[in-house]
Amino acid sequence: MSFTAMHWLSKKPCDIAAGVHVTQAEGEERELFAKQAAEDWENLLFQRTKELAPGGKMVVVHFCLDADGYHLGYTDKSAVCREVAEGIIGMRTWSNSSFLTALDEGKRSEAERQALVDELYQRYEDEVFQDPAVNHMDYVHHYIVMEKGKV
């Protein structure tokens, strides 16, 4: 099983005065988000214990805020041009089908939709290469491996 929903909370505990993302929250706002995340994490683990077979393993890889305050979209760790050239940044792999679907209203052929998406990515790549410093995104993750005990 694989999914990419762990970073979504079941509900928004409060508005964030300084922005729109939890990394911009401070003080009590941040504490409320942390509390909600902890409750959701506990619920997720409880639900997975019902589904996981004895001896089964679960690996969770999740976005995080590290000790230096780095998070997805806010780091200074590597060179974006090299990563784009080597295909390390995988925006196209996870968003290509979304863009193609958004263009599919029965008015465009598959070839035309693909050409539009190809043009979008070419423009994106050109923009990144013009000013790599402002277009970089490192991924900051943590992981945990769990195994359900055998009864």
pLDDT of residue 86: 55
pLDDT of residue 114: 87
Say if residue 105 is in the same domain as residue 51.
no
Say if residue 91 is in the same domain as residue 61.
no
Say if residue 69 is in the same domain as residue 15.
yes
Say if residue 45 is in the same domain as residue 91.
no
Say if residue 28 is in the same domain as residue 98.
no
The 10s digit of each residue's pLDDT in 88-97 is 455 665 677 7
Say if residue 107 is in the same domain as residue 130.
yes
State the average pLDDT over residues 5-17.
88
pLDDT of residue 1: 57
Say if residue 118 is in the same domain as residue 100.
yes
Say if residue 146 is in the same domain as residue 129.
no
Tell me which of 24 and 87 has the higher pLDDT.
24
pLDDT of residue 88: 45
Cross-strand bridge partners of residue 71: 74
Say if residue 47 is in the same domain as residue 4.
yes
pLDDT band at 100 (very low <50, low <70, confident <90, very high): confident
Say if residue 121 is in the same domain as residue 70.
no
Q: Which residue, 90, 88, 70, 71, is CA-closest to 79?
A: 88
The alpha carbon of 36 is separated from its chain's Cα centroid by a whole number of angstroms, namely 19
State the average pLDDT over residues 123-127.
81
Q: Percentage of residues in the chain with pLDDT exceeding 70? A: 74
Say if residue 1 is in the same domain as residue 63.
yes
| Domain containing residue 110 | 79-135
Say if residue 72 is in the same domain as residue 37.
yes
As for how many domains the chain has, the answer is 2
State the average pLDDT over residues 65-76.
72
The 10s digit of each residue's pLDDT in 32-58 is 999 999 999 999 889 988 999 999 988
Specify the pTM. Answer: 0.55
State the average pLDDT over residues 129-142.
67
